[in-house]
Structure 1
Amino acid sequence: MAYKAFREDPEANPLDTPSGKIEIYSERLAEIAASWVLKEDDIIKPLPEYAPSWEGHESALTEKYPLQLFGFHYKARTHSTYGNVALLADACRQEVWVNPIDAEQRSIKDGDMLKVWNDRGELRIPAKVTERILPGVIAMGQGAWYKPDRKGVDHGACINTLTTQRPSPLAKGNPQHSNLVEIAKV
C-alpha cells in the first residue's frame, strides 16, 4: 500500500518533501511566487488550484485560433531520436488527433491531409478522427523532424513549428500544451 510506513509512523518515515509530510499547501511555491519576477499573466500558486493559461481556452486568441494544441510523447520516437528510422515511421504514422465534432464542423474525414496553423507557423499532417480526444482540443506526437518547403510550411509535422518560445512559468520549459491553432483540409 502506498505510504504505509509513513502512515504508520510519519516521524520515522518522512516523505521527500520540505516538511516531510504530505503537502497540499507548498511553502516552496509560495516563496517562488512571492520572490520571482513573473510576467503579468504567469501564475504560480502554492495550492493545487486552477490557473488560466496565457494561451488557453479562455484566451481572446480563441476567436482566431479555437483549438488547443496538445503534444504527447510519441511511441515511435524518444523525443526526436529515431525520427529518421523509416521502419518506425511506416509502422507509426505521424497524425493529428481530432474529435469528430471538430472534424465535422470543418468537413474533415479520417486520413485527410490537414493544414494546422497559427501566427507562428504552419504544418501539414494527416488527420486521425477519434473520440479519444476532447472537442476543442487536437493532439499530435512531439519530436517530429522539421521539414519546411520553400514557403516555410513544415511537411514533417514538427509541433515546435506552432509552439511558442515563451517558457512555462515554473519549470521554464517548452509549453507544448498551451498553444492555440486552427485546422483545415488541404
Structure 2
Amino acid sequence: ILLPDAMRSEQLNMKTNGYTEWYTGVVVGGPAQDAPGECRTSYDVMADIADKFGVKDQFTEGKTQEDWIRELYEAGAEKDSEMPSWDEIVKQGVYKRELPTAIGLKDFRDDPEANPLATPSGKIEIYSERLADIAATWELEEDESINPIPVFTPGFQGYGSVNDEYPLYCTGFHHKSRTHSSFGFIPELEQVARQQLWINPADAESRGIVSGDMLSVKSPAGEIRIEAKVTSRIVPGTVGIPQGAWHKADMFGDKVDEGGCVNTLTTYKPTPLAKGNGNAHSMIVQVAKA
C-alpha cells in the first residue's frame, strides 16, 4: 500500500457548496491529470486494507469510487426535480441556483409549544440545567470548568498563564500560502509567503530582534526555529505563527523543529466537555534569537 493518495484534481470527485442544509450548488468533475507514479485514490487504498481484513465486499459493496459518486449524486437528485441528470452534471461540471432567504427557527418562533427545540425545556436556553447537572456530578480537574451559562474561561495556558520563563502569548493563524498543511512542501510558495513569526516592535526591540532574524521559540511542549517578522500589526505581549508548516525535527536528537510548525508548541489537553484541544490557539512561549 503506497501513500500518499491521489489529489482531488487527479480523480473524479464531487463536492457541494454550502453548509448543513443550505446548499447552493454541486460540482462534479475530474480528473484533470493522472496521479503520478503509483499513487492511487484513498478509496482504493481503503479497499485494499478491507481486503486484508477479509471484508472488502462489505466495504465496497462491489462498487468503484466512481460508482459511489454517481449513486450518491443520483440519490440526491431523485429527491430534487431541478437537479441535472448524472450525464448532464458530468458534462457541465457545475450546477448552482439562487438560495432563497429563510428565517432561522421560524416554526419555533411561530408556535414554540407545537414546535419545541431539542433541549430539555424545548426552549432557547440561556441557563442549561443539563450542563449544571454535568458540572455538579462529573469529576473535573482543578483547572477545568463546565458552566451552565456562557462565561469567560481562560482555559489551559490561556489568559493569565504567562510567567518569567514563558512571557508571551502565542496563537496560530491561517496562512495565504497553504490550506492548513496542504501545499506546505512547495518551495515557490514558501518564497513568496515565508513562514514567519509576527512580533510587535516593543517585544522585538527588548530582545534585539529585527525582521529576518532566525528565532528560537520555546513553549512547555517544544521548540521551533522560525524567521522573525517585526510588525505593529500584532498586539504587544503576543506573537503569531502561521499554522500548517510541516514538522522537520530529529526526534532521536534535539527534537528542535526547523520547519516552524506551530503544533510543536502545543500541549495536548482536551477540554472537559467537548474534548477539543483548547490550547491550539492559546500557548505561552519565549522568543529569542537563535
Partner of 1:33: 135
Which shifted more, 4-13 or 168-177? Answer: 4-13
Length-normalised TM-score, structure 2: 0.55
Which shifted more, 15-24 or 108-117? Answer: 15-24
Give the SS at the match of 1:106: coil
Unaligned runs of 5+ in 1: none
Partner of 1:140: 241
Length-normalised TM-score, structure 1: 0.82
Larger Rg: 2
Which shifted more, 15-24 or 153-162? Answer: 15-24
Distance in structure 1 (CA, Å) of the matches to 2:247 and 2:282? 20
**CA-based RMSD:** 2.8
Distance in structure 1 (CA, Å) of the matches to 2:174 and 2:115? 33
Tell me which amino acid in the other structure corresponds to 2:180: H
Partner of 1:44: 146
Give the Å deviation of 1:124. 0.7
Give the SS at the match of 2:163: helix
Q: Give deviations 1:116-154, integer Å, cap 9, x for gaps.
A: 002322111111222222221111112211111442211
> What pairs up with 1:1-186 in 2 under 5 angstroms?
3=104, 5=106, 9=110, 11=112, 18=119, 21-59=123-161, 62-149=163-250, 150-174=253-277, 175-186=279-290
**Residues 110, 53 of structure 1: CA spacing in aligned structure 2 closer, same or farther, 3 A cutoff?**
same
Give the Å deviation of 1:5. 4.5
**Residues 5, 119 of structure 1: CA spacing in aligned structure 2 closer, same or farther, 3 A cutoff?**
closer
Give the Å deviation of 1:99. 1.6
Give % identity: 50
For these two proteins, the number of residue pairs brought into alignment is 185
Contact 1:66 1:182 in 2 (8 A): yes
| More helix as a share of residues | 2
Give the Å deviation of 1:70. 0.8
Which shifted more, 134-143 or 48-57? Answer: 48-57
Give the SS at the match of 1:62: coil
Which shifted more, 156-165 or 99-108? Answer: 99-108
Contact 2:216 2:289 in 1 (8 A): yes
